[in-house]
Structures are given as structure tokens and as C-alpha cells.
């Protein structure tokens, strides 16, 4: 603890009183003893002033407690002689009752619910749920007693100020611990602690005097019952405010939870709606598939067998159809089973050759709206849609049929993609499709975004709008489908 560098500034004289190095004879003539080990000490009063005046053990043996005991003695002697002390400021915070348990393990708060702050580096008075403050002040002692037993404790100094007892503790290595603090609090007397840095090795009596008496930062309040009482009063006075704040917080929490619940609810409803729509779509698709299978099934029995398939008239379904419908069915079946598989429906005339990229523009905003417009034009018409545009190269027929599902269960297919290019390309591909499908070519409608050398027999709509298939295009296409050739080229 104490090294040889620690210079002992105070000792006990031959009467057992505290003696400063300044007031004794030099050398062994001082007749002083060590306050720790009671061995004889020699006063070393350097004439050159190179070393600080101090006591040293006569026989040079190690005594680790001498320096600390000496400072203890010195502080007590200084306060006894002066009879006054500069007390530090005191700021007591009173925490809410519900925090007390949590604060018991806090290193900072020694006595819950109270927390003491004295010489803060930032001298801002702390506000809290309850608080009290007293500035630093000088007090005159009416009496000073050293090492006086007070119940189960022995404070270093027991002083009286304005008729009230003040304990002063001196800490070098051992500050007051929780146990001792509890005993002090039980006595109910105000207590301060003077802390001396154990790393500082030399003190002259003058330096120690200034430090102890005048320096408020050398001290801290351990217990101030008067301020705790004031902090309690402040705490009570602020009860209404605390209640209001707690209510506000609870209300905010409640609103936030209600908001989260509402969002959750909304999401759940959307999810359920989506799932219901998906279920509905699945059912519709299954029904359509079943219908196609049934129709295709009747066509396999060209020998007239299979009378179990009836259309309500007691005849096989294929026997009750007109030759034209029969032809279409047979053709549809052939396409379904061999060539271009339609994801939805057999090929039926008339045929609309559609420039999907150029008119419906799936990459651009408003695609759904344009598809719905086309669906409205085709609604209630037997009509196949054959896609002629570039999208054939990127998507398969099923994907495109998915994009055009608004068009109902009609056949949706592709023209073949031929090598070459140039202005004849689209026309050549449509011709190739018709060759392959052997469709009755009574009605060919082409809806395209650019002018091509289309045969005069076809009904052609060239989209006029910058933004794809417009309302005006829809009306013109409707006219073309109804054989009113108000538009062509």
C-alpha cells in the first residue's frame, strides 16, 4: 500500500496528541511515535528544502499503514483546530417506489430510493421524480469530538452544527461501505466523507489543511436526512404529474397496439380474399378442363359408338351438331392432340390475329385496363385469339393465355415463327398458321400496331394510339367483328 515514497506528515507526540512535522524538533528529538505501529519516528526537516518535511521510522523497517494512519490523524487534527468546514453541495434524487428493488443492485445508488450527487463535473442540478438541493456552504462547529463511539459505530469525527450532529468520515484506502452506511443511516445523523487520493505520496500540513477545510470537492455527502425529507415532499408534490404522464404513456401504448391489430386484421382479410379468389379460379379451371376433356372424348368415337355420351336429346353429342360445328370440333381436337396445344379451348372462327406487344403492351402501365377493353369487345363472341407478336419468342402459350385470362375460356394460340423478317413477315406467319390449321377463312380480323401488306380480304385494325389499345380502337374492332367495315385499309 504505502511505499517508501509516501512521506508521513503527522505523528503522535509523547503525550499521545497529534503532532504536525512543522511543530516538532528535528531528528529523534521530536520524541514522536508512529500512529500505526507505535515505533519511534524521526523528524526529517530538510534544511535545503529539496525534500518535503516528513517523519520516518527510526529503524527503517517497513510499516505499510503509517502513511494512511498519519493522514487520518492529520485530517482530524486540522478539523479540530479549525472548528469550521466547507461542506459540499448536495443534490438528492428520490426515485419512484416501483424502482426501489431494481436500484438495490445499482452501484451508483447506495441507498434506494435515494441517490446522492455532489460535486458533479457538470454542475447542473439534477431534476427527478423527487429532488432536493443544497448549495455548498461553510459551517462553524459548536463542538468537535474525535473517535467518539456512537452506538455500534465510531465515526472519525463527531461535530455539532446548530445543535445537530454531523459525522465526518476520512477515506484514504477504505471508503465507507454499504454495511457501515446502513448503520450510519440508522443513527439518523448527517454524514460527509472526505476522500484523500491514496496515490498522492506527499502532503505538507498546509496543503492538507487547504484541501480538507476549503476544498468542497474533497468531500461527498453520504447521508443528509433533511434533504431526503425535502426530496420526499417534492416526490409527493409531483404525484399528480407522474400519474398524468403514466396515463399518457398507457394511452399511447394502447393506441399503438390498436393500430397494429387493425393492420393485422386488414392483412388477414386481404389474404383470405386472395385465397378465396384463387380457390374460385382453380374450380373454374378444373370445370373448363373437364368440359374440354368431355368434348374431346365424344370426338374419339367416330364409329358411332359411345352412346353413353348424351346431350339431352338421347343422341351421341356429335350426331346432333351441324356439319360446321362438327368440323370445328374435329379440328379443335386435332390441334389439341397434336399440334398447337391450346391451354383453354378449341380453335373457333372467326380468328383475331393480335399484335399483343404492339397493342396491349404488357410491359407498360395500364396493361390490365387494355386487356379488359379487349375482353369487352370480344365478350359473347365465339372467337379465337392468335398472337402474332414477339412475345411468342419469350413466353409459351400457357403463359400468354394466363396474361389474357380476362378473355375467357377461348382458344389462345401463336402463329408459327418463320425465318426471314421484313414487311411480309407477319402476313407470311398468319398464312402459315391458316395452312396448318385448315380453318374456314370466312372471317379473319387482324389487330396490329403497324401497317403491313395485309390482303384486302382481311379486316384489319391498325392501332392509332400512342398508349396502345384505346377506347376508340375498341369501338373500331367491335365494328370489324360485326362485319361493319368502317375501318380497314
Q: Which positions from 460 through 479 interact with Zn ion, judged by CB under 5 A?
A: none
Is the CB of residue 105 less than 8 Å from the CB of residue 112?
no
DSSP 178-244: HHHHHHHHHHT-EEEEEE--TT-----HHHHHHHHHH-GGGEEEEE-HHHHHHHHHHHHHTHHHHHH
DSSP 282-294: HHHHHHHHHHHHH
Interface with Zn ion (CB under 5 A), residue total 5
Q: Give the three cell numbers for residue 5.
A: 515514497
Cβ-based nearer residue to Zn ion, 37 or 395: 37
What whole-number distance in Å separates Cα of residue 261 and Cα of residue 256? Answer: 9
User: Which letter, b or e, does each residue of 139-148 get, where b requires 16 or more Cβ atoms within 10 Å of its Cβ?
Assistant: eebeebebee
* Closest separation in Å from C-beta 64 to Zn ion: 8
Residues sharing a CB contact under 8 Å with residue 94, sequence separation 6 or more, in sequence order: 113, 114, 128, 129, 130, 131, 132, 228, 231, 232, 234, 235
Interface pick for Zn ion out of 2, 7, 12, 36 (rule CB under 5 A):
36
| H or E stretch covering 486 | none
The window from 55-63, 240-248, 365-373, 424-432 that contacts Zn ion (CB under 5 A) reads: 55-63
37 binds Zn ion (CB under 5 A): yes
Looking at residue 1, what DSSP letter applies?
Answer: -
* Closest separation in Å from C-beta 36 to Zn ion: 4
The window from 2-10, 35-43, 309-317, 459-467 that contacts Zn ion (CB under 5 A) reads: 35-43
* Closest separation in Å from C-beta 66 to Zn ion: 4
Cβ-based nearer residue to Zn ion, 5 or 419: 5
66 binds Zn ion (CB under 5 A): yes
* Closest separation in Å from C-beta 39 to Zn ion: 5
* Closest separation in Å from C-beta 42 to Zn ion: 12
Q: Which of 448, 463, 437, 454 is nearest to 489 (CA)?
A: 454
What whole-number distance in Å separates Cα of residue 106 and Cα of residue 87? Answer: 26
* Closest separation in Å from C-beta 7 to Zn ion: 13
11 binds Zn ion (CB under 5 A): no
* Closest separation in Å from C-beta 204 to Zn ion: 20
* Closest separation in Å from C-beta 59 to Zn ion: 10
Q: Which of 68, 92, 89 is nearest to 170 (CA)?
A: 68
Q: Give the three cell numbers for residue 136.
A: 455548498
The window from 28-36, 149-157, 246-254, 382-390 that contacts Zn ion (CB under 5 A) reads: 28-36
Cβ-based nearer residue to Zn ion, 63 or 85: 63
The window from 64-72, 163-171, 355-363, 430-438 that contacts Zn ion (CB under 5 A) reads: 64-72
Interface pick for Zn ion out of 32, 34, 85, 208 (rule CB under 5 A):
34
What whole-number distance in Å separates Cα of residue 243 and Cα of residue 266? Answer: 35
69 binds Zn ion (CB under 5 A): no
What whole-number distance in Å separates Cα of residue 25 and Cα of residue 7? Answer: 17
Cβ-based nearer residue to Zn ion, 87 or 172: 172
The window from 8-16, 57-65, 210-218, 319-327 that contacts Zn ion (CB under 5 A) reads: 57-65
* Closest separation in Å from C-beta 33 to Zn ion: 8
CA distances from 10 to 82, 173, 377 (A): 16, 17, 113
Cβ-based nearer residue to Zn ion, 34 or 348: 34
Cβ-based nearer residue to Zn ion, 34 or 387: 34
The window from 63-71, 150-158, 215-223, 291-299 that contacts Zn ion (CB under 5 A) reads: 63-71
* Closest separation in Å from C-beta 55 to Zn ion: 9
Q: Which of 437, 458, 443, 459 is nearest to 327 (CA)?
A: 437
The window from 65-73, 91-99, 270-278, 378-386 that contacts Zn ion (CB under 5 A) reads: 65-73
Residues sharing a CB contact under 8 Å with residue 127, sequence separation 6 or more, in sequence order: none
Cβ-based nearer residue to Zn ion, 39 or 241: 39
Cβ-based nearer residue to Zn ion, 62 or 440: 62
Q: Which of 340, 436, 330 is nearest to 392 (CA)?
A: 340
* Closest separation in Å from C-beta 63 to Zn ion: 3
Cβ-based nearer residue to Zn ion, 2 or 407: 2
DSSP 32-49: EE-TTT--EEEEE--SSS
Cβ-based nearer residue to Zn ion, 33 or 452: 33
63 binds Zn ion (CB under 5 A): yes
Binding-site ranges for Zn ion (CB under 5 A): 34, 36-37, 63, 66
Amino acid at each position: 500500500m504505502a511505499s517508501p515514497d509516501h512521506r508521513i506528515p503527522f505523528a503522535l507526540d509523547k503525550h499521545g496528541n497529534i503532532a504536525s512535522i512543522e511543530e516538532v524538533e528535528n531528528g529523534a528529538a521530536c520524541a514522536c511515535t508512529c500512529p500505526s505501529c507505535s515505533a519511534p519516528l524521526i523528524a526529517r526537516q530538510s534544511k535545503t528544502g529539496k525534500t518535503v518535511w516528513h517523519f520516518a521510522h527510526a529503524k527503517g523497517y517497513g510499516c505499510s499503514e503509517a502513511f494512511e494512519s498519519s493522514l487520518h490523524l492529520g485530517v482530524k487534527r486540522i478539523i479540530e483546530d479549525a472548528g469550521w468546514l466547507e461542506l459540499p453541495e448536495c443534490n438528492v434524487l428520490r426515485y419512484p417506489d416501483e424502482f426501489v428493488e431494481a436500484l438495490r443492485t445499482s452501484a451508483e445508488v447506495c441507498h434506494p430510493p435515494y441517490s446522492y450527487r455532489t460535486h458533479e463535473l457538470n454542475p447542473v442540478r439534477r431534476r427527478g421524480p423527487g429532488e432536493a438541493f443544497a448549495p455548498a456552504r461553510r459551517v462553524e462547529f459548536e463542538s468537535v469530538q474525535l473517535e467518539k463511539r456512537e452506538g455500534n459505530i465510531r465515526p472519525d469525527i463527531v461535530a455539532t452544527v446548530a445543535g445537530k450532529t454531523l459525522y465526518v468520515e476520512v477515506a484514504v484506502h477504505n471508503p465507507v461501505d454499504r454495511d457501515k452506511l446502513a448503520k450510519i443511516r440508522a443513527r439518523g445523523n448527517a454524514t460527509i466523507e472526505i476522500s484523500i487520493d491514496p496515490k498522492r505520496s506527499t502532503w505538507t500540513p498546509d496543503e492538507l489543511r487547504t484541501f480538507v477545510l476549503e476544498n468542497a470537492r474533497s468531500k461527498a455527502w453520504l447521508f443528509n436526512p433533511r434533504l431526503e425529507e425535502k426530496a420526499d415532499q417534492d416526490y409527493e408534490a409531483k404525484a399528480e404529474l407522474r400519474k398524468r404522464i403514466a396515463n399518457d404513456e398507457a394511452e399511447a401504448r394502447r393506441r399503438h397496439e390498436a393500430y397494429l391489430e387493425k393492420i393485422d386484421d386488414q392483412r388477414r382479410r386481404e389474404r383470405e380474399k386472395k385465397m378465396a379468389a384463387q380457390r374460385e379460379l382453380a374450380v373454374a379451371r378444373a370445370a373448363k378442363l373437364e368440359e374440354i376433356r368431355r368434348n374431346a372424348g365424344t370426338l374419339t368415337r367416330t364409329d358411332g359408338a359411345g352412346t353413353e355420351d348424351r346431350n339431352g336429346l338421347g343422341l351421341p353429342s356429335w350426331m346432333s351438331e351441324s356439319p360446321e360445328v362438327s368440323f370445328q370440333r374435329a379440328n379443335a381436337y386435332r390441334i389439341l392432340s397434336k399440334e398447337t396445344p391450346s391451354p383453354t379451348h378449341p380453335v373457333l372462327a372467326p380468328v383475331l390475329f393480335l399484335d399483343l406487344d404492339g397493342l396491349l403492351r404488357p410491359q407498360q402501365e395500364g396493361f390490365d385496363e387494355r386487356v379488359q377493353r379487349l375482353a369487352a369487345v370480344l365478350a359473347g363472341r365465339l372467337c379465337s385469339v392468335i398472337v402474332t407478336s414477339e412475345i411468342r419468342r419469350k413466353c409459351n402459350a400457357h403463359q400468354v393465355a394466363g396474361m389474357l385470362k380476362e378473355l375467357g375460356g377461348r382458344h389462345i394460340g401463336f402463329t408459327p415463327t418463320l425465318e426471314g423478317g421484313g414487311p411480309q413477315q407477319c402476313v407470311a406467319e398468319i398464312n402459315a398458321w391458316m395452312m396448318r390449321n385448315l380453318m374456314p377463312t370466312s372471317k379473319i380480323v387482324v389487330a396490329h400496331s403497324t401497317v403491313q401488306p395485309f390482303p384486302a380480304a382481311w379486316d384489319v385494325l391498325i392501332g392509332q394510339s400512342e398508349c396502345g389499345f384505346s377506347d376508340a380502337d375498341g369501338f373500331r374492332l367491335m365494328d370489324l367483328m360485326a362485319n361493319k367495315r368502317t375501318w380497314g385499309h
